[in-house]
Structure 1
Amino acid sequence: MTENVTLGVEHFGDPAAPLVLLAGGPTMLSWPDALCRALAAGGRHVVRYDLRDCGASTTVDPEAPAYTLRDLAADAARLARDLDPRPAHLAGIGVGGMVAQVAALDHPGAFAALTLAGTRPVAPGPVDADLPDHDGETMGLLFSRPMPDWSDRDAVARFAAVGAAILGDDPDAARANAERVFDRTPGTEPAVQLANQLGTVFAKLDCTPRWRERLPDLAVPTLVVHGRNNRFFPVGNGEALAREIPDARLLVLEHAATALPDSTVEEVAAAMLAR
């Protein structure tokens, strides 16, 4: 990558096959291994990557990032072009879905399809009046907990498991994923662990200008995937994306919350491969 930025990536499938680029939310492990393998088995070159200040990507100062959301979008476009001269299928989950929206709008020639999973059409912060905000009771439980000792792998994993249970996700899967994230994190400093485990660096980004009003300009096949039980970004956010992006398909996962459980992999992979 240019601009002294290196992005951590992982490849699945044939490098000569059409590219599906998975933007982390914020780490690449937001995308389940099983989904990556299923997409690769469907004839795609799958590459998942860490956003800046996460995983194996460049880490500088997660408490005061010297880049913007639009820089993260440019990272996605640059990485896609470096990997394959053909336009890619770009997918983003959670905050990575915000990156993907802006990337597809700002760099339309880089992408031939778009998947937006568990995300919303506005930046972190106050939500638009017509969009459902985070579930208040859930957020109260989630954020009233004391922070763990970020240098203690087991404490961090327990914290993630309890948080997943509050959100309606599988606590055992969250614990295992948190351990993997911990092992990939380039340090135990609280800011670095928070950026990797909770994505808190995103709340410090400059996410202007707004992009929601530009969504009708998207001219690529788009799939919106959302868990019916998502309490962090309630399903109305996915419904809004599907309404405002021309010809978008909405796939609501009836028994999913924030994460993509392995039980949904077959359905999500088939929908993505059809885009």
Structure 2
Amino acid sequence: MGEALIAAGDVELCHETFGDPADPAILLVMGLGTQMLGWRAEFCELLAAEGFHVIRYDNRDVGRSTHFSDHAPPTLLEMVLRRPRNPAYTLEDMAGDAAGLLDALDLRAAHVVGISMGGMIAQALAARRPEKVRSLVSIMSTTGAGRVGQPHLRVMAFLARPPAMTRDATVERNVALQDVIHSPGFERDVAASREIAALSFDRDPDRRGAGRQIAAIMASGDRTASLARITAPTLVIHGTADRMVAVSGGRATAKAIPGARLELIEGMGHDLPRGLWPRLVQLITEQARAADAGHAPAVASPGGA
């Protein structure tokens, strides 16, 4: 239906919908520094074809949503110490954006699916606004505890670099990051990665928003205790080859949320390759339908929760 800006609390969020608005809603929450384009339109259409009204949106500070440009991102020292001195907002504020978006769309609740930082936002929404979350799927995310879900040293070194400032440099940086975090068990589509990176730069040339989002993650700290308040039926999905968020983060998330199930996927890293889409669509839709029906989906859970 095309992109549109909508007021959600004290921010404007750029969003796009797929499918019939009369169908149960699925809200897709994207990760760090990544625009809603990270949820490929074809992926959203697959979910919609299963009988769901699918919503993707730009988080604050990326894409065409409100930016907090008057706040500087954390310095390298602040990132190393994990102590941002002046965070513009927290994950809870970003969860409030998601709730505000649902309100603005006249949706009482939705099935919420978050990936990486988006998983953290989805968790915070489920913990603080349980009436908004019909079911929760947390993908390749973590609890914020310091001993779990930490990135590989190669990823940490990559994240410590200053952001690329030009379109071409941004595209090449994205491809280089994918070289490190891609899913080794699935075929890569480098051309698609380049296309998304170029489109993202054209939609939003601000290179500092991701840093402010990192500050929000650090300022939110260890959220393990709050996850115990989640009552929504929860599925935690994590890849065994994730270098951005170690699989220990997924295990800790599933352990912290009462009744959560853990689904480990062999060969999955920290991306959404096309070869994974059928499995992810199956897991997400089965979780949503089971929640609406009031029973647990009959899906195997390798690794257990």
TM over 0.5: yes
Q: Which residue of 2 aligns with 1:128?
A: 146
Q: Which runs of 5+ in 2 are unaligned?
A: 1-6, 74-86, 288-305
Aligned counterparts of 1:30 and 1:230: Cα–Cα separation in 2: 17
CA distance in 1, matches of 2:114, 2:27: 9
Instruction: Give the percent of matched residue pairs that are identical in Structure 1 and Structure 2.
Output: 34
In the TM superposition, what is the alpha-carbon distance from 1:66 to its structure 2 partner? Answer: 3.3
Match of 1:182 among 197, 201, 223: 201
Q: Find out whether 1:226 has 2:238 as its counterpart.
A: yes
| Alpha-carbon distance, 1:180 to partner | 1.7
Q: Which residue of 2 aligns with 1:19?
A: 25
Structure 1 32/181 Cα, relative in aligned 2: closer, same or farther at 3 Å?
same
TM-score, with normalisation over the residues of structure 1? 0.86
Moved more, 243-252 or 19-28: 243-252
Q: 1:7, 1:250 → 2: CA distance?
A: 31
SS in 1 for 2:13: coil
Q: 1:253/1:86 Cα in 2 relative to 1: closer, same or farther (>3 Å)?
A: same
Q: How does 1:25-64 map to 2 (within 5 A)?
A: 25-26=31-32, 27-61=35-69, 63=72
Q: TM-score, normalised by structure 2?
A: 0.78
Q: Is 1:101 equivalent to 2:141 in the alignment?
A: no
Kindly provide the amino acid, as one letter, of the partner of residue 161 in structure 1. Answer: V
* Aligned residue type for 2:215: K
Give 1:174 deviation, angstroms: 2.4
CA–CA distance in structure 2, aligned partners of residues 159 and 210 of structure 1:
30
Higher mean C-alpha displacement, 224-233 vs 162-171: 162-171
The structural deviation recorded for 1:229 is: 1.1
Q: Give distance in 2, aligned partners of 1:174 and 1:194.
A: 20
Shift of 1:250: 1.9
Partners of 2:167 and 2:198 within 8 A in 1: yes
Of residues 10, 13, 38 in structure 1, which corresponds to 2:16? 10
Aligned length: 259
Task: Give, in whole Å, the separation in 2 of the partners of 1:119 and 1:144.
Answer: 20
Matches within 5 A, 1:146-165: 147-148=163-164, 150=165, 152-165=166-179
List per-residue Cα deviations over 1:103-162 (Å, max 9, x = no partner): 11010111111111111111xxxx433x1421124433x2476653x1x32221111101
Q: Contact (CA 8 Å) 1:97, 1:117: kept in 2 or not?
A: yes
Give the CA deviation at 1:216: 2.3
In structure 2, the CA distance between the partners of 1:59 and 1:31, relative to structure 1 (3 Å rule), is: same
Return the alpha-carbon distance in structure 1 between the equivalents of residues 230 and 53 of structure 2. Answer: 24
2:252 corresponds to 1:243? no
